Amino acid sequence: MPAGASLTNPPSPRPQRLFFALWPDKEAARALHHAGRELQAACGGRLTRLATVHLTLVFLGEVAPEKIPRLERAAASVREEAFSINFNRYGWWKHNRIVWAMPEETPPPLRRLVQGLETALEQAGISCDKRPYVPHVTLLRKAERRPQGEGLPGAAWAAREFVLVRSVLDREGAAYEVIGRWSLREEAESQSASS
């Protein structure tokens, strides 16, 4: 499918819960899921399903279906370079009992991608969550205890595209459906664009 092509199904008349994300390759998803399973033995809680492991870029919340084409145009206007990200730390948020993985250092292209999306959405008149960005992948929900230590064996993936995702509740919790995807620029493409 060409870069920027929409995978949107016919819209439901009801608002849809949407977010932009990076989706890991299978190897990185398995490594993060495995780390979550090991932490679950020490922390308790509910393990994130392998199929739903992701890194949220911008959370949109409930969006009317007629706004989806504006979202897609905003996303298509964002041009950022591809990058690699390594999740090698974990921690937890006591207030919502979530155990998460995060990179020790946030790659600058990731921060620029988030800022670019927020700016494009604002220019399109679409509101989004404006909290300070903390890149993290949720490993466990409803954890009973804080994990001991902070080091994670590491789960790296090469971010080559970002996606627009619809969250749908099913019997097992939230299921995610990718409804649009956009490529990030490869290094050679980035260099030719700047010269």
Q: Which helix (H) or strand (E) holds 84?
A: strand 83-93
Question: What does the alpha-carbon distance between residue 121 and residue 49 come to, in Å, rounded to a whole number?
Answer: 29
Verify whether residue 95 is a known catalytic residue: no
**Cα 107 to the center of its chain, rounded Å:** 14
CA distance 82 to 126: 25
Beta-carbon contacts of 157 under 8 Å, excluding residues fewer than 6 positions away, are: 22, 24, 25, 27, 28, 84, 85
Active-site amino acid positions? 54, 136
